[in-house]
Amino acid sequence: MRQSFRRMMTIVRKEWLHIIRDPRTLALVIVLPVMMLFLLGYAVANDVKDIPLAVADLSHTDTSRTLVDKLTVSEFFMYTHAAQSENEILAMMDAGIVKAGLYIPESFGRDVSTGGVGTIQFYIDGSNPTIAQTAQLAAETISQSMSQEILIKRLERSGTGMQLGLPVDVRMRYLYNPDMKRMNFMIPGLVAIILQVQTLLLTAFAIVREREQGTLEQLIVTPVRSWELMLGKILPFVVVAFVNVVMTVAVGAIWFGVDVVGSSALLAGLSLIFLLGSLGLGVLISNISKTQMQAMYLASFIMMPSFILAGLLFPRENMPWLAYYAGYFLPVTYFLEIVRGIILKGADFFTLWVWIWPMAVFSIVVFFASVLLFHKRL
């Protein structure tokens, strides 16, 4: 046993030297998560607002100006261009100068004030569905609330003497992510990405490199056992992955204000279990790859579905049933629920149990299978 431990630590020491001696990889390992954090934070996750809007107000009345004000005050739209006609709006839409256009015909103000129906035309650039949906929803909501206000005024003026209000008052309250910030959705996802992608790739590379270099042949004839070799190679990457997770969560909290509501110790513990599965997959990939290039391609077979099906970037609820259930075959799906649960909701072990046990079973099976399947033969 002491001999075993000594041999394993010899591998660990050597692996550390490899990591430290290769500054480019080391830099990537540390810089990549931070870079992804900022990319997701500033480039991808920006919630839709200030959609450039062109307005052609031919009505020139208080009512029409109120409508335009309400749209721009909402922050969904930014009044960037004034137009004189419908055609001018369409030309600006074609050129991509504005993403939305509002045409208020000359008769609008008169129609509304005389108790009729004032028609307005709203244009939306549908090429980006996210922007289009937001714009549509915002425009509808704003115009409806304005219609209601006008309706109430008309009824009051008709002299029923009643205090009029809307019969149903819906009060929304968001739990867990009160500000509806995209970053709150992203940071937990990023923790999962780092643990899945980085550890899988680094482990696979570390073992395939020995094969590519020919050093594996030399290692085979030494007394080191398969599991000593595997554990020795894996341990340094567990440390690296953990440093990265801590860093991601810390930057998330300090810079983006996404605090960990739940227990950090629980998060660390469950991350470790998930990590075992990722490392195991890396070892399995390295077992069937002869070159680092092959390992890279094989890894993307696991990585792409993880990104898309597990609910990392897109909510799983909107997926077709096949994609939805396929997600259950990916351990990262469970882990995402766990990380979001702990960071955003402060969920505890028992609440998360439904997600924990499938992930734990997967991780442990894959990990032990990978270590046992590694044969010290060419």
Partner 1 sequence: MAISVEALLLTKQYSSQPKGSRPALDAVDLHVEAGQLYGLVGPDGAGKTTLLRILSTVMNPTSGSARLMGYDVNKQAEQIRSRLGYMPQAFSLYPDLSVMENLRFFADINGVSHGKQKSRIDELLEFARLTDFTSRRSENLSGGMRKKLALACALVHEPEILLLDEPTTGVDPVSRRELWQLLAKVIQQGVTVLVSTPYMDEAERCNMVSIIYQGRILTTGAPVDLERQMPFRIVEVKAKPRGTLRQVVDKIDGGYGWRAVGDRLRLSVVDPAGVQARIKANLETAGAQISILREARILMEDVFIYLVEQQEKQA
User: With respect to partner 1, which residue has the nearer C-beta, 22 or 149?
Assistant: 22
Q: Is 316 helix (H, G, I), strand (E, B) or coil?
A: helix
**Minimum Å distance from CB 292 to partner 1?**
15
Binding residue (CB under 8 A) for partner 1 from 10, 61, 136, 177: 10
Q: Are strands 100-104 and 121-124 parallel, antiparallel or unpaired?
A: antiparallel
Largest CA distance in the chain: 100
Residues that contact partner 1, how many (by CB under 8 A): 25
Instruction: Return the closest-CA partner of residue 378 out of 219, 233, 224, 229.
Output: 219
How far, CA to CA in Å, does 337 sit from each of 90, 257, 275, 356? 45, 20, 15, 9
**Whole-angstrom distance, CA of residue 192 vs CA of residue 189:** 5
Return the residues of window 193-232 that contact partner 1 according to CB under 8 A: 213-215, 217-224
**Minimum Å distance from CB 27 to partner 1?**
16
**Contact between 18 and partner 1 per CB under 8 A:** yes
Return the residues of window 22-81 that contact partner 1 according to CB under 8 A: 22
User: With respect to partner 1, which residue has the nearer C-beta, 8 or 55?
Assistant: 8
**Whole-angstrom distance, CA of residue 144 vs CA of residue 150:** 10
CB 208 within 8 A of CB 286: yes
**Minimum Å distance from CB 206 to partner 1?**
12
**Contact between 7 and partner 1 per CB under 8 A:** yes
**Minimum Å distance from CB 272 to partner 1?**
27
Which residues, in sequence order, are bridge partners of residue 51? 77
User: With respect to partner 1, which residue has the nearer C-beta, 29 or 102?
Assistant: 29
Write out the residues near partner 1 by the rule CB under 8 A.
Answer: 3, 6-7, 10-11, 13-14, 17-18, 21-22, 213-215, 217-224, 376-378
